[in-house]
Amino acid sequence: MIRKVLIANRGEVASRIIRACKELGIKTAVIYPEVDSTALYIKKADEAHLLEGDPVASFLDPEVIVHIAVSCGADAVHPGYGFISEKAEFAELCRKKGLIFVGPNPETLRLLGDKQRSKAIAKKLGVPVIPGSEGPVQSAEEAEAVAAEVGYPVLIKASYGGGGRGIRKVESPEDLASELASASSQAEKFFGSGEVFIEKFIERPHHVEVQIITDSHGNIRHLFERDCSLQRKNQKLVEIAPSLILDEPTRQEMAEAAMGIARYTGYVNAGTVEFLVDSSGKYYFMEVNPRLQVEHPVTESITGIDIVKEQLRIASGERISFEQRDVSIYGNAIEFRVNAEDPKRNFAPSSGRITAYYSPGGTGVRIDGAVYKDYIVPPHFDSLIAKLTVWARTWKDAVMRARRALEEFVIKGVKTTIPFHLALASTEAFERGEFYVGYIEEHPELLDYHYDEDPYHRVIAIAAAIAAYEGF
Ligand code: ADP
Ligand code: ADP
Ligand code: MG
């Protein structure tokens, strides 16, 4: 078994991984930059190592991270998500230095990092893929021919894109050539490759993704699906499990498709196969995310399986700890991404000192947090500061619990997405489970909320007013 893990990440996911390690008796080492020296995950880890230089660049440098891992005596590296978690060279360097990389092998990462190649594999295995170009588009003429064939609007996607970046919608043929040129040069800049491809734009789809887990002994399992349709700018904001729109045969078929892709690519460890489901219920493969995902807690809530513990056991060479027949869906779970952003100002990042922090609790409430009172949210990183996951036996109960927990959740000092989530969760449409990709952009009235920043202060204020009136 792994004895000590270096966590090549920060924030809530670093804490999440530490929790799993503690439950397995594994020691943890973390890395941090000077600007984030008071972070919560540092306090939870067994040891912490300072990253010199640029705060973000160090998290992106395999050499720096692997050097720290080796010199602190770690035998494994957990990459978390984001940063270089999907970088084949990172996994390769770990292997070269005798470190276990908690994730798929470099060959699999290389293959799946290319959206085109993964699509080609899915197609070969008979899994439906979104209509579009076969391979990268080389010229404007080729792009125009493909777009004319599949019909507008289309998306231009960067082959190596991720995190909702590198996707552009083109409504009509006039714009295609210029959008293609700028998409390609932007992709070159951000992802190190200007390769792009064309895909038909699916109207109001659902984003449905299947969680899979495989071990190095050839065992493969799925943990059902999540619906991550509630997005803004192609980035997920709220995720649920299970999907409310799949019938049982489709659920099984998508799980089989996901496992088939994992089997074919020699996938080992936990991963996610993403699909879009159109309004007629047809599903299309989209991409594979070969790592732990932000929204994994909803799956853990409905199955009772600890995905990070499974990841660590599998990386140690152990078998998956459960049989497929042992897993079933119990209840409904919803995750809300609490970002330090101001929804009313176009979700602009908000950094600074947290002046009050009260987290919700009670039955069916899970917090994966990264902040506390007096912590200063640094401006350099992703704005995710906490995740609230609620679980209940029925969707309706989960919605009611979500409203209650979001009302309890107080974070002051920085603007957060909590009031936006509360407004969203309070709608009848949400209660009926009626949403799709594009829903948030189509409903700007969700931003017209009036939010009482601190319900506890309201009670104090009322008490003070009564006291004054009564002449205390
Ligand atoms: P998930 O589906 O788990 O939310 P995302 O694709 O949104 O996964 O990525 C997880 C995190 O990593 C997000 O915080 C996202 O901003 C970040 N991320 C993912 N890919 C990239 C990338 N290529 N460049 C920058 N950030 C990324
Ligand atoms: P990323 O690597 O950034 O996660 P994806 O290919 O997974 O990129 O797409 C991100 C999101 O963009 C999807 O979850 C979906 O909401 C939207 N999207 C992607 N492809 C399409 C499509 N063909 N039609 C409509 N929406 C799409
Ligand atoms: Mg994706």
Q: How many CB atoms lie within 10 A of CB 61?
A: 18
pLDDT in tens, 364-379: 999 999 999 999 999 9
The average pLDDT across 147-157 equals: 97
**Is any atom of ligand 1 closer than 6 Å to the C-beta of 382?**
yes
Six-digit token string for 358: 């009260």
Name the residue with the closest Cα to ligand 1, atom 7. Answer: 163
Ligand 1 atom at minimal distance to the Cα of residue 86: 20
Ligand 2 binding residues, C-beta < 6 A: 130, 155, 161-164, 167, 199-202, 205, 207, 231, 234, 274, 276, 286-287, 437
How far is it, in rounded angstroms, from Cα 290 to Cα 87?
10
Q: Is 294 in the pocket of ligand 1 (CB under 6 A)?
A: yes
Nearby residues for ligand 3 (ion, Cβ within 5 Å): 274
Distance 471 CA to ligand 1 centre (A): 56
In this prediction, residues 393-406 reach a mean pLDDT of 98
Count of beta carbons in the 10 Å neighbourhood of residue 89:
13
Distance of alpha carbon 446 from its chain centroid, rounded?
A: 23
Which protein residue's CA is at the shortest distance from atom 11 of ligand 2? 234
pLDDT of residue 225: 98
Residue 277 structure tokens: 């489901």
Q: What is the pLDDT of residue 462?
A: 80
> Which of 154, 206, 207 best tests ligand 2's pocket when mutated (most atoms within 8 Å of CB)?
207
Which ligand lies nearest to the CA atom of residue 234 in the structure?
Answer: 2
Nearest CA among 170, 178, 172, 175 for reference residue 198: 170
Using one digit for the tens of pLDDT, what is the confidence trace for 174-230? 999 999 999 999 999 999 999 999 999 999 999 999 999 999 999 999 999 999 999
Q: Between the CA of residue 75 and those of 1, 88, 168, 175, what are the distances in Å?
A: 10, 19, 41, 52
SS3 390: strand
358 alpha carbon – ligand 3 mean position (Å): 32
Whether the pLDDT of residue 457 is over 70: the answer is: no
Report the C-alpha gap between 28 and 6 in whole angstroms. 6
User: Which whole number is the average pLDDT over 380-393?
Assistant: 98
The Cα–Cα gap between 185 and 229 comes to 29
- Nearest listed ligand to the Cα of residue 292: 1
Provide the whole-model pTM. Answer: 0.95
Nearest CA to ligand 2 atom 3: 164
CA 363 to chain centre: 24
Q: For ligand 1, is residue 73 a contact (CB within 6 Å)?
A: no
Which whole number is the average pLDDT over 7-35? Answer: 98
pLDDT digits (tens, 9 = 90+) for 231-241: 999 999 999 99
CB-CB contact of 417 with 338 (8 Å): yes
Residue identifier of the C-alpha nearest atom 13 of ligand 2 = 234
Residue to mutate, 115, 286, 287, 435, ligand 2, most ligand atoms under 8 Å from C-beta:
286
Residue 471 has pLDDT above 80, yes or no: no
Q: How far apart are CA 8 and CA 6, in angstroms?
A: 6
Instruction: Return the closest-CA partner of residue 307 out of 323, 296, 319.
Output: 296
Is residue 313 among the annotated active site residues?
A: no
Relative to the alpha carbon of 157, which ligand is closest? 2
Q: Which H or E run includes 4?
A: strand 4-7
Domain positions in the chain are 4-102, 131-200, 206-455
| Superfamily of 131-200 according to CATH | ATP-grasp fold, A domain (3.30.1490.20)
pLDDT of res. 293:
98
Tens of pLDDT along 71-94?
999 999 999 999 999 999 999 999
Q: What mean pLDDT, rounded, does the chain reach?
A: 96
Domains 4-102 and 206-455 share a fold: no
Reported as a single tens digit per residue, the pLDDT across 92-120 is 999 999 999 999 999 999 999 999 999 99
| Domain topology for 4-102 | Rossmann fold (3.40.50)
Query: For the segment 264-313, what is each residue's pLDDT rounded down to a tens digit?
Result: 999 999 999 999 999 999 999 999 999 999 999 999 999 999 999 999 99
- Cβ atoms < 10 Å from Cβ of 240: 26
Residue 113 phi, psi (nearest 5):
-65, -20
Query: Which ligand lies nearest to the CA atom of residue 56 in the structure?
Result: 1
Q: CATH number of the domain at 206-455, please?
A: 3.30.470.20
Q: What is the mean pLDDT of residues 154-161?
A: 95
14 CA to centre of ligand 3 in angstroms: 21
Determine the pLDDT at residue 305.
98
| Ligand 1 proximity of 233 Cβ (cutoff 6 Å) | no
* 142: pLDDT strictly greater than 80: yes
- Ligand 1 atom closest to the CA of 293, numbered from 1: 3
pLDDT of residue 253: 98
- In angstroms, the CA 270 to CA 32 distance is 25
pLDDT of residue 303: 98
Report whether residue 162 contacts ligand 1, using a CB cutoff of 6 Å.
yes
Q: Which among 251, 291, 337, 366 is annotated as catalytic? A: 291
Please report the pLDDT score of residue 410 as a whole number.
Answer: 97
Task: Tell which atom from ligand 2 comes closest to the C-alpha of 164.
Answer: 3
Among the atoms of ligand 2, which is closest to the Cα of residue 115? 6
**Range of lowest pLDDT (56-70, 279-293, 418-432, 445-459):** 445-459
Q: Is the pLDDT confidence value at 67 over 70?
A: yes
